Amino acid sequence: MSHESSPHLQHHFDTPAQQFDAGKLGIWLFLATEILLFGGLFCAYAIYRANHPEVFVYAHQFLDRVLGGTNTVILLCSSLTMAWAVRASQLGQRRLLIALLSLTLLGGFGFMGIKFVEYKAKWEHGLLPGTHFSHHEEREAEAAPPAAATPAPVSAASATDVKTTIKPAARGPSGTVRRDELERRDAARHGKRPSNVQIFFGIYFLMTGLHGLHVLAGMGAIAWILVRSIKGHFGPEYFTPVDFVGLYWHLVDLIWIFLFPLLYLIS
């Protein structure tokens, strides 16, 4: 093998091919650790779903299939633009590479934007893990129009009780509604709520949250190679960073492919 001097070949590798394969194996080993990391959460999911199937059936109806499905389509399309970007860098199509990396980054922003909308709705409805879970479809203040508190009808028995100095109100002040009435309305809309629904939201936020962090990390990496591609660092001779960032981005897509049906499409 003739040693043509490639500026990208590190001195401890014999050939660019050897350098590329070594780096690629390293990335795949890293991705394997990522699969194992998420594997722990999938295990938690499996155990809790086996033990509390009714919680998963009940709670999944609070996730928005349309938003989740839109995010799936966005991630799949951004995976295509990423794979195409790798191809463009291999073929030295610099302008196309910059455009495709920008599109991929845009897909990341779109995904996180929709994720933000979803998390905000969960937060507002009290669909939170652990002791923070306090779900009511309608908040007490919105449940009924404001009305003046009216004294309860006084029965003859209580009227004679001299110890009764404060009369109970039939209707709470300024549009509040009794908690059991709220629960009755929720049950009419979603079916009877099983106990421990917060378990589902603990798993939901951990899995989608860890996945969301990976999307953010991937967006950072894409921004980095976008800057480098604008500087003209990549071409048929050297496209390794584009290829490896692409592999990471596809893994993020891969995990979402499993998360979407497991969390949003329970029947």
**Binding to other proteins (CB under 8 A): which residues in 231-250?**
235-237, 239, 243, 246-247, 250
154 binds other proteins (CB under 8 A): no
Distance CA 247, CA 243 (A): 6
201 binds other proteins (CB under 8 A): no
C-alpha distances in Å from residue 58, one per residue of 47, 99, 195, 199, 267: 17, 43, 10, 12, 9
39 binds other proteins (CB under 8 A): yes
Helix (H, G, I), strand (E, B), or coil: what is residue 59?
A: helix
The identity of residue 249, as a single letter, is W
Helix (H, G, I), strand (E, B), or coil: what is residue 12?
A: coil
Distance CA 50, CA 59 (A): 15
226 binds other proteins (CB under 8 A): no
Residues 20, 111, 200, 204: which binds other proteins (CB under 8 A)? 20
Task: Report yes or no: 65 and 265 within 8 Å, Cβ to Cβ.
Answer: yes
User: Nearest approach, Cβ of 6 to other proteins (angstroms)?
Assistant: 9
Residues that bind other proteins in the complex, under the rule CB under 8 A: 16-17, 20-21, 24-25, 28-29, 31-33, 35-36, 38-40, 42-43, 46-47, 50-52, 54, 65, 69, 72-73, 76-77, 79-80, 82-84, 87, 90-92, 195-196, 235-237, 239, 243, 246-247, 250-251, 253-254, 257-258, 260-262, 265-267
